[in-house]
Amino acid sequence: MPPAKNTSNDPAAATQDLLSEAGHATQDTEFFNPMPPGYVPGRHKYVVVFGTVISGIGKGIFSSSLAKLLKDKGLKVAPIKMEGYLNVDSGTLNPYRHGEVFVLDDGLETDMDLGTYERLLDQDLGRGNYVTSGQIFQKVLQKERAGGYLGRDVQMIPHVTGEVKYMVRELAVKRDADVVFIEVGGTVGDYENAFYIEALRQLAFEEGEGSVCYVALTYVIEPPALGEQKTKAAQLGLKKLLEAGVQPHVVAARAKNPVEQGAKEKIAMFSNVPTERVFSMHDRASIYNIPEALREEGMDRGVLTMLGLHDRLNARNEDTARAAWGSFVAKINAKRKYKIRIGLTGKYAALRDAYASIDKAVEHCAAHLNTDVQFDWIDTTKIASADVPKALAGFHGVIVPGGFGHRGTESKIACIQHCRETGLPYLGICLGFQMAVVDFARHVVGLTDAVSTEFDPDAKNPVIDILPEQKKIEGLGGNMRLGGKDVLIKPDTLAAALYADQLRGQKPDQQTVRQRFRHRYEVDPKAIATLEKAGLVFSGRHPSQPIMQVLELPQPGTPGSEGRPTHPFFIGGQFHPELLGRPLKPEPLFMGLIAAGIRRAYPDAAREDISARWLIERGLQPSG
């Protein structure tokens, strides 16, 4: 155990306490068993998920699905994703190489797997739920430079592995977790994750029997030319894990079709795992079917037995959670009444993972609104502004997502102009919000050279800018504005109607919603009065600073809109609403877009229809 915390005013002693909190390895002992303050051995359990054969086989989906089952039973769960790359976070990664950047409420930029955990667990995560090799090495070297290892030569074992164990245990304490789910990125056998595997081998040794459950995901190949399932790659991948000193307790076998009994038996024989604990994780119609599939196979009960957790369960909580999830899954799997087309106009359209959270947010809303959404991806770098009307023909709604850089933005502005002028439902996200301001300034206000200083630092009419006084707000410095922030919503607006459920019970002049941000540029405060005078409504603002966060055009017939631009559904957020979309809590801006798209596609649909009811309940105006 670490020494007692220093309570004196001696800075040197206080610093030494901080540096020594990860434990000691002295000349007297080689054991390095770091324990964070408040850690109770035996209180917390661990499920560790490894991948073999290939990367990207669904470790996050499996881990989050199993974690959901245990959470449904009343247990507190905390996931952590361990990445092998040396980047400190995912903020600088190209979407084409690693998918979208998912921003947590505390501002940490992570990879898209954290979004999977948040959606399936309906749980906000933070810095403790994500670690990279870069973070680990940075902490170790900082401690070494400050003398934190008492003169020892710093090594991968025990110091780097000790830092990994400390972070895992610290997460367990901070979240008071019954079970910590640890997903090791990459594939067993990679150099970059070997120290994670060794640290987690040590974790099981130190915590004792019945404290850690190892799960290995593998891949069963089914070559079309052979017409049968082959397990040799799976066997060799599992052998790599055994060579690292890790004996898996469960094997989940990914495959296109259900894994046959003979294949399971081969995998069991070569991994020392009982056949009944070899689970077929074959392709399903939806990832949302995976939790129930795991439950039917008894995976949750098996893990609870291995970890000795049956006495902590809440059966009533499980019944309620299972019913709610089952209702959503039934909607996902049901045949839908309507079908609409939504266009996403971005510059990473060639890779769906670049907009994974938008895809999922639309998927949730489509299920709740009983419609199939055909999601078309339009690369704005490949269409000219003059071709936009033809490119958007047949759509019932358009999303312009976030992004950085000038490439493709003029076509995005043309898309927004087309939506605004034709009544096509529109949702702008981050850059889509900013480009909507530029479109309005150019084509309604008449500032034909309006632009963002991101694209033209010397612009004469910079309606979007990064301002010196804004750099000081909330300690931003020159960096991006990141993480969860409150948005003050203006009453009697489209935004207020869409977020009515979240605003209920708040004082009319203090109604806020919390959203996640990732941007540098803002609406120039000098342009706000001009834009508002011409009819643009800023319905969401920073609670105390001149930062505009939601814009909209009023619906036709809105009091005070006479002689001003109106629109059936035109809204944009400076934030990223897709990051908060959850299966059982669909994001309101996306719900509004899909509902408006249904009303555009089916103007004669009955007012009793679910999309019409959703709009009417919020005081909006469906057609029909």
Model-level pTM?
0.90
Which pLDDT score is estimated for 216?
A: 96
| Amino acid residing at 363 | E
Q: Average of pLDDT values for 171-194?
A: 95
Q: Annotated catalytic, 415? A: no
Is 32's pLDDT higher than 50?
yes
By C-alpha distance, which of 114, 46, 111, 108 is closest to 84?
A: 111
174 φ/ψ sector (left φ>0, alpha ψ -120 to 50, else beta) = alpha
368 is catalytic: no
Domain boundaries, the chain: 29-326, 336-617
How far lies 363's CA from each of 479, 498, 587, 591, in Å?
32, 18, 11, 10
Q: Is pLDDT of 157 > 80?
A: yes
Q: Measure the CA–CA gap between 83 and 99, rounded to whole angstroms.
A: 14
* Nearest residue to 180 via CA among 103, 66, 293: 66
Pick the CATH number of 29-326 from 3.40.50.300, 3.40.640.10, 3.40.190.10, 3.30.230.10: 3.40.50.300
Would you state the pLDDT for residue 351? 60
More confident residue, 459 or 326: 326
Q: Is the pLDDT of residue 15 over 50?
A: no
> Does the structure show a pLDDT above 80 at 4?
no
Is 213 one of the annotated active-site residues of the chain?
no
Specify whether the CB–CB gap between 183 and 81 falls below 8 A.
Answer: yes
Q: Would you state the pLDDT for residue 307?
A: 96
> What's the pLDDT score for residue 389?
92
- Residue 609, pLDDT > 80, answer no
Residue recorded with tokens 């629109």 = 567
Question: Which bin fits 82, alpha (ψ -120 to 50), beta or left (φ > 0)?
Answer: beta
Q: Which stretches within 150-251 are classed as H helix?
A: 161-174, 194-207, 232-243
Q: pLDDT value at position 28?
A: 55
Mean pLDDT across 556-573: 89
- Locate 83 and state its tokens: 């990445």
Q: What is the pLDDT of residues 402-456, one digit of tens each?
A: 877 777 688 899 999 999 999 999 999 999 999 999 999 999 999 988 889 888 8
Active-site option among 100, 363, 552, 578: 578
Cβ atoms of 552 and 498 closer than 8 Å: no
Distance between CA atoms of residues 168 and 150, nearest Å: 23
**29-326 matches 336-617 in fold:** yes
pLDDT digits (tens, 9 = 90+) for 209-236: 999 999 999 999 999 888 899 999 999 9
Average pLDDT over residues 59-69: 95
Q: HSE-up of 360 (CA within 13 Å, CB side)?
A: 27
Which tokens belong to 12? Answer: 């040197």
CATH number of the 336-617 domain: 3.40.50.880
Does residue 161 sit in helix, strand or coil?
helix
Query: Which residue bears the tokens 């504005």?
Result: 481
Confidence of residue 559 (pLDDT cuts 50, 70, 90): confident
Per-residue model confidence (pLDDT) at position 11:
41
Marked catalytic residue, from 430, 454, 519, 567: 430
Return the structure tokens found at 165. 């164990």
Q: What is the pLDDT of residues 249-268, one digit of tens each?
A: 999 999 999 999 999 999 99
Distances (CA, A) of 380 to 164, 360, 568, 575: 43, 22, 24, 21
For residue 371, give the nearest of 616, 106, 586, 105 by alpha carbon. Answer: 586
Active-site position among 83, 100, 576, 587 = 576
Q: Is the pLDDT of residue 511 over 60?
A: yes
> Do 620 and 612 form a contact (C-beta atoms < 8 A)?
no
CA angle in degrees (0–180, nearest 5) for 250-283-235:
40
Say if residue 102's pLDDT is above 70.
yes
Residues 6+ apart with CB under 8 A from 500: 617, 618, 619
DSSP code at position 230 = B
pLDDT score at 22: 41
pLDDT of 20 > 50? The answer is: no
